[in-house]
Amino acid sequence: EKEKVGFIGLGNMGLHMVNNLISSGLYHVSVHDKNFDAMKKFAERGIATKGTPFEVAQTSDIVITMLPSSSNVMEVYTGPNGLLQGGGDVVRPWLFIDSSTIDPQTSRKLSATISNCVLKEKKGFRNTPVMLDAPVSGGVLGAEARSLTFMVGGSEDAYLSASPLFLSMGKNTIYCGGAGNGSAAKICNNLAMAVSMLGVSEALALGQSLGITASTLTKIFNSSSARCWSSDSYNPVPGVMEGVPSSKNYDGGFSSNLMAKDLKLASASAEDIGLKCPLTSQAKEIYVKLCEEGHGSKDFSCVFRHYFSGSDI
Dihedral sign for Cα atoms in the order 202, 207, 209, 213? negative
Asked if 29 is part of the footprint of ligand NAD (rule: CB under 6 A), the reply reads no
> Footprint of ligand NAD on residues 129-148 (CB under 6 A)?
136, 139-140
For residue 43, give the amino acid letter.
A
Site for ligand NAD in 42-71 (CB under 6 A): 66-68
Is 186 a residue of the active site? yes
Is 113 within 8 Å of 180 (Cβ atoms)? Answer: no
Stretch of 12-20, 116-124, 220-228, 237-245 lying at the interface with ligand NAD (CB under 6 A): 12-20
Between 8 and 64, CB nearer to ligand NAD: 8
Q: How far is the CB of 206 from ligand NAD (least distance, A)?
A: 30
Least CB distance from residue 34 to ligand NAD, whole Å?
Answer: 4
Specify the long-range contacts of residues 239-242, CB closer than 8 Å, at least 24 apart: 239/215, 240/214, 240/215
- The pairing of strands 3-8 and 62-65 is parallel
| Cα 232 to Cα 253: distance, rounded to the nearest angstrom | 16
* Binding-residue pattern over the window 72 to 111 for ligand NAD, x denoting contact by CB under 6 A: x--xx-----------------------xx----------
User: Interface with ligand NAD includes 177 (CB under 6 A)?
Assistant: no
Q: Does 123 bind ligand NAD (CB under 6 A)?
A: no
How many C-alpha atoms does 104 have within 13 Å on its Cβ side? 24
Would you give the end-to-end CA distance of the chain in angstroms? 57
Question: What does the CA dihedral 281, 287, 292, 296 come to, rounded to 10 degrees?
Answer: -150
Shortest-Cβ-distance residue relative to ligand NAD: 11
**34 touches ligand NAD by CB under 6 A:** yes
Q: Which stretch binds ligand NAD (CB under 6 A): 30-38, 164-172, 192-200, 297-305?
A: 30-38
Binding span for ligand NAD by CB under 6 A among 109-117, 241-249, 254-262, 296-304: 254-262
Identify the CA nearest to 104 among candidates 182, 12, 26.
Answer: 182
What is the DSSP pairing of strand 27-32 with strand 3-8? parallel
- Identify which of residues 71 and 309 has a Cβ nearer to ligand NAD in the complex: 71
Long-range contacts of 229-235 (CB under 8 A, 24+ apart): 229/193, 229/196, 230/193, 230/196, 230/197, 230/199, 230/200, 230/201, 230/301, 231/200, 234/197, 234/301, 235/200, 235/301
Is the Cβ of residue 221 or residue 254 nearer to ligand NAD in the bound state? 254
Q: Which one from 4, 50, 186, 284 is the annotated catalytic residue? A: 186
Does residue number 252 form part of the binding site for ligand NAD (CB under 6 A)? Answer: no
Q: Which is nearer to ligand NAD, 56 or 214 (CB)?
A: 56
Q: Could you list the residues that contact ligand NAD (CB under 6 A)?
A: 8-14, 33-35, 38, 66-68, 72, 75-76, 100-101, 136, 139-140, 254, 258, 261
Q: Which positions are catalytic?
A: 186
